[in-house]
């Protein structure tokens, strides 16, 4: 049903009803380029839940702190209530196994040094800004 041209969401604006419109997905792809590159560097495939979990970590880092499983789940749940706590926990576990994030003694997650360096290299979204603690800032 979903693979047929012209079949789309009933309530979606007409410009976004089919995948034939190249602008339909342009914004999301360009906004997540840095996350795609980060996941690719660590040998991980992209997925919606990984994007959302990494975005939660970015927001927490901008605020100057790590974030626990409950905080990540609350962030993810605010935009995708169908994603479970267990799913978020499994994504965090996998990101940690691959070295993208680290779990601190305070039970909060932060980006690893290598991941932080990669994020700071993305000129479109992040820059170093000279902050000594390695926090991400918006360009």
Q: Is residue 3 a part of any domain in this protein? A: no
In this structure, is residue 89 part of a structural domain? yes
pTM: 0.68
Residue 111 lies inside a defined structural domain of this protein: yes
pLDDT at 25 (0 to 100): 39
Tokens, residue 57: 């970590």
Per-residue pLDDT tens listing for the chain (139 residues): 444 444 444 444 444 334 444 434 334 455 688 899 999 999 999 999 999 999 999 999 989 999 999 999 999 999 999 999 999 999 999 999 999 999 999 999 999 999 999 988 875 554 444 343 444 443 3
The answer to whether residue 98 is domain-embedded is: yes
Q: Looking at the 3D structure of the chain, how many domains does it have?
A: 1
48 falls within a domain: yes
Q: Is residue 27 part of a domain?
A: yes
What's the domain range around 54? 22-127
The predicted pLDDT at position 9 comes to 43
Beta carbons within 8 Å of 98's beta carbon, 6+ residues apart: 42, 43, 44
Q: Which of 55, 129, 65, 111 is nearest to 139 (CA)?
A: 129
Q: CATH number, domain at 72?
A: 1.10.10.10
């Amino acid at each position: 049903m979903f693979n047929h041209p012209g079949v789309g969401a009933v309530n979606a604006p007409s410009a976004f009803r089919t995948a034939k419109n190249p602008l339909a997905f342009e914004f999301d792809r360009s906004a997540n380029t840095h996350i795609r590159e980060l996941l690719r560097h660590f040998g991980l495939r992209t997925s919606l839940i990984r994007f959302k979990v990494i975005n939660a970590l970015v927001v927490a880092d901008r605020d100057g702190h790590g974030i626990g499983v409950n905080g990540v789940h609350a962030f993810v749940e605010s935009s995708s209530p169908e994603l479970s706590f267990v799913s978020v926990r499994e994504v965090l576990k996998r990101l940690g196994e691959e070295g993208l994030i680290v779990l601190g003694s305070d039970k909060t997650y932060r980006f690893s040094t290598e991941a932080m360096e990669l994020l700071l290299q993305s000129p479109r979204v992040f820059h170093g800004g000279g902050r000594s603690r390695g926090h991400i800032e918006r360009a």
